[in-house]
Amino acid sequence: MSTAYLLIAHGSRDARAQRGLADLAQRVTAALAQQSQAPVWVATACLEAEPEPLHQQIMAVMTQGRSRGFAQLKLLPLFLLPGVHVREDIPHEVELAKVMGDKALPLTVAPYLGSHLGMTALLRRQFASYPGAGRILLAHGSRRLGGNQPVEAMAHRLDAIAAYWSVPPDLARQLHRFVTGEQMTWLIQPYFLFTGGITEAIAQNLQTLQPEFTPVQLHLGKPLSDIPEFMPLLLDWILHQ
């Protein structure tokens, strides 16, 4: 059965993040085309920062998918944590699309990307690229009760310290709390998919903080989509969920 795919991202007004999503769709298309004789179509949609709500974007893809001859549509939420967007917003928009959209093209929704079992292994390899370094996993953070528990659990599995961009404890607080003379190198790994305004602000923040911790060296990792090992994980998620 031929399947069309729809990558669903949060959305951003930062052009770099939008380009990152478009580039990711192209890379996925090329990788899937190498593995299949059937036609491949990978579309994109965003929950926010788009002129149309998500359900209308899904409906448009359903119509196009049927016209292109695809038999089903798989929705792929590019979200790293099971927050309100994954638990409430996307399911609501999907139900609207099912009710209002093209009934001839059935759709399914994959579990969110961050639930893939390979994510921990991917991050562990990133931290291992700095042997013996201190580890900080830096996520956006949620004000929702219990919203940061998955980050804390992930950090625990990685022998890392959790820090957040938008809520306490932030990066500066965790650095002041944990950096000592025992470990002269620290890797701060951003738990973000794409380069954009936040990752740029994180880099600037780290440059400001670095002089406070000399001679300790603070290093910033890459967003996940810039890591070469990310694509095999993404393809496994797409094909086996």
In CATH, the architecture of 3-114 is 3-Layer(aba) Sandwich (3.40)
Strand, helix or coil for residue 55: helix
Please report the pLDDT score of residue 226 as a whole number: 95
Measured CA to CA in angstroms, residue 47 lies from 10, 21, 63, 131 at distances of 5, 13, 19, 38
Q: How confident is the model at residue 145 (pLDDT cuts 50, 70, 90)?
A: confident
Q: 23, 196 in Cβ contact below 8 A?
A: no
Q: Helices 90-100 and 54-67, interaxial angle, to 10°?
A: 50
Which residues have a Cβ under 8 Å from the Cβ of 225 and sit 6 or more positions away?
Answer: 20, 24, 193, 194
Question: 205 and 174 in contact (C-beta within 8 Å)?
Answer: no
What confidence category does residue 14 fall into, taking pLDDT thresholds of 50, 70 and 90? confident
pTM for the complete prediction?
0.93
Architecture of domain 118-226: 3-Layer(aba) Sandwich (3.40)
What residues does each domain of the chain span?
A: 3-114, 118-226
Q: How far apart are CA 142 and CA 178, in angstroms?
A: 22
Q: Comparing C-alpha atoms, which of 168, 16, 141, 152 is closest to residue 83?
A: 141
| Tens digit of each residue's pLDDT (9 = 90 or more) over 73-119 | 999 999 999 989 999 999 999 999 999 988 889 999 999 999 999 99
Domains 3-114 and 118-226 share a fold: yes
pLDDT in tens, 211-231: 999 999 999 999 999 999 999
What does the buried/exposed string (b/e) look like for 114-127 if buried means 16 or more CB atoms within 10 Å of the residue's CB? Answer: bbbeebeeebeebb
Mean pLDDT of all residues in 191-217: 95
d(Cα 159, Cα 151) in Å, to the nearest integer?
Answer: 12
Q: Which helix (H) or strand (E) holds 178?
A: helix 171-178
